[in-house]
């Protein structure tokens, strides 16, 4: 998984450079995702923003 994480991180750097918008890689492990039980992306973002487990690879 380390290579996938590294590639996703590099993709964020590349797309940030191309668009001028900052992108960051956010890794939410499956077990954490299952505990959060989001029904939409907004639910997931809200749960993470509200102090839920946040895994950021930079």
Note the helical H segments in 1-58: 2-19, 30-36, 41-49
φ, ψ at 10 (rounded to 5°) = -65, -40
CA R_g for the chain: 13
Tokens representing 26 are 């956010």
Long-range contacts of 30-36 (CB under 8 A, 24+ apart): none
The pLDDT value recorded for residue 51 is 60
Q: Is the model's pTM score more than 0.75?
A: no
Residue-wise pLDDT tens digits, 3-55: 998 999 999 999 999 999 999 888 888 888 888 889 998 888 888 776 655 54
């Amino acid at each position: 998984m380390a290579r996938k994480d590294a590639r996703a991180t590099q993709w964020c750097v590349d797309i940030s450079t191309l668009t001028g918008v900052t992108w960051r890689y956010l890794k939410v492990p499956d077990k954490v995702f299952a505990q959060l039980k989001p029904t939409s992306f907004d639910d997931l973002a809200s749960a993470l923003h509200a102090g839920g487990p946040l895994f950021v690879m930079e």
